């Protein structure tokens, strides 16, 4: 069953990238991230009340709380980096880098969680790494050729995303997954709005147009759904498998970026995408 949740996470995550890209077009990325956390916060706590897990909060150990908070902080950092990268660069270039967190996650899972590393996993790491390189290689027609700050933010997103997976895996071992997700969301919510007030962007809320509001709210909803599926899968399945399945969201993102955003892939990028998918699917063998 955890595999179904993992694929559900991939589907909603893939849609999120497109909705967020459209939503943050005319909005400061930090403010957009903070607004999305409001939706996710409400959604995640509604789920807690629906499944009736709120009363289990008193049973949480200090270790669980610490790791949930740490995973929330790393999630917040990943989001801030990811949506800044999306604002500056093309979706079909930012997303592959973000998904490369699979490699670091597998390595960290082996070191800290004791998950085994096999020959297939090594081959998968190589395929995903080469595929990612092919997809992010600079192109002559890249409109962002003169400003590659998005690249730094994209890699930052990948690093913090991998830390989130490991910390989240430890944090939800002894807690109902919906409650764990809700607690982490509180941390992300606080962190995101602190950044907004520190950068003094809160006044820009009144300038957000209706279209941006709609897509930001929708992206928040799909993120919430992705999270619920992801941490349910992570609670019952190995992180080294759940995370790669979640990263298959790149297929959905690339497809929608082509149809909706008109972002096309060249032959080299298509080969890279095939390698990433092949490397990911090998982990399911």
| Percent of residues in the chain assigned helix, strand, coil, to nearest 5 | 80, 0, 20
The yes-or-no verdict on residue 191 having pLDDT over 50 is yes
Scanning the structure block, which residue is given the tokens 């992300």?
188
pTM over 0.85, yes/no: no
The answer to whether residue 218 scores a pLDDT higher than 90 is yes
Tokens of 138: 């600079």
Domain housing 159? 2-282
Distance CA 264, CA 45 (A): 39
pLDDT digits 0-9 by tens, 112-159: 878 787 888 889 889 988 988 888 755 444 444 446 788 899 999 999
Q: Which residues of 67-103 are buried (b: 16+ CB within 10 A; e: fewer)?
A: bbbbbbbbbbbbbbbbbbbbbbbbbbbbbbbbbbbbb
Residue that the structure tokens 């607690």 belong to: 183
- 118: left (phi > 0), else alpha (psi -120 to 50), else beta? beta
Residue 160 confidence (pLDDT): 93
Q: Which two tokens stand for residue 200?
A: 């003094």
pLDDT at 144: 45
Average pLDDT of the residues of the chain: 85
Within a 10 A sphere around the Cβ of 282, how many other Cβ atoms?
A: 19
Q: Is the pLDDT of residue 163 over 80?
A: yes
3-state secondary structure of 137: coil
Among residues 223, 221, 114, the alpha carbon closest in space to that of 166 is found at 114
Q: Are residues 172 and 5 in contact, defined by beta-carbon separation less than 8 angstroms?
A: no
Asked whether the predicted pLDDT for residue 174 surpasses 80, the reply is: no
Domain count, the chain: 1
pLDDT value of position 29: 87
Grouping H, G, I as helix, E, B as strand and the rest as coil, residue 92 is helix
State the pLDDT at residue 45.
92
pLDDT of 182 higher than 70 = yes
Least confident of 33-37, 184-188, 257-261: 257-261
Residue 145 φ/ψ, nearest 5 degrees: -60, -30
- Residue 262 near residue 114, CB atoms below 8 Å: no
Q: Give the Cα separation of 99 and 162 in Å (integer).
A: 9
CA distance 10 to 19: 15
pLDDT digits (tens, 9 = 90+) for 62-113: 888 898 899 899 989 998 998 889 888 888 888 888 878 878 888 888 888 7
pLDDT at 157 (0 to 100): 92
């Amino acid at each position: 069953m955890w595999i179904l949740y993992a694929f559900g996470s991939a589907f909603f995550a893939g849609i999120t990238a497109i909705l967020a890209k459209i939503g943050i077009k005319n909005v400061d990325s930090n403010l957009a991230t903070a607004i999305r956390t409001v939706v996710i916060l409400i959604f995640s706590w509604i789920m807690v009340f629906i499944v009736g897990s709120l009363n289990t909060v008193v049973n949480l150990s200090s270790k669980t709380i610490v790791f949930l908070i740490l995973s929330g902080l790393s999630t917040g950092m990943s989001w801030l980096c990811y949506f800044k990268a999306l604002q500056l660069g093309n979706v079909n270039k930012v997303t592959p880098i973000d998904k490369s967190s699979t490699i670091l996650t597998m390595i960290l899972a082996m070191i800290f969680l004791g998950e085994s590393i096999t020959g297939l996993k090594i081959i998968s790491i190589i395929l995903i790494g080469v595929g990612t390189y092919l997809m992010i290689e600079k192109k002559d027609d890249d409109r962002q050729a003169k400003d590659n700050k998005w690249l730094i933010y994209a890699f930052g997103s990948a690093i913090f995303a991998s830390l989130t997976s490991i910390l989240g895996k430890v944090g939800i071992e002894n807690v109902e997954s919906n409650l764990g997700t809700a607690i982490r969301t509180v941390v992300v919510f606080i962190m995101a709005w602190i950044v907004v007030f520190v950068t003094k962007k809160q006044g820009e809320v009144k300038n957000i147009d209706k279209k941006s509001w709609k897509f930001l709210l929708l992206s928040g909803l799909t993120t919430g759904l992705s999270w619920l599926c992801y941490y349910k899968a992570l609670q019952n399945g190995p992180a080294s498998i759940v995370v790669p399945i979640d990263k298959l969201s790149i297929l959905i993102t690339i497809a929608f970026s082509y149809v909706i955003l008109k972002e096309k892939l060249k032959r080299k990028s298509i080969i890279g995408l095939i390698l990433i998918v092949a490397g990911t699917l090998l982990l399911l063998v």
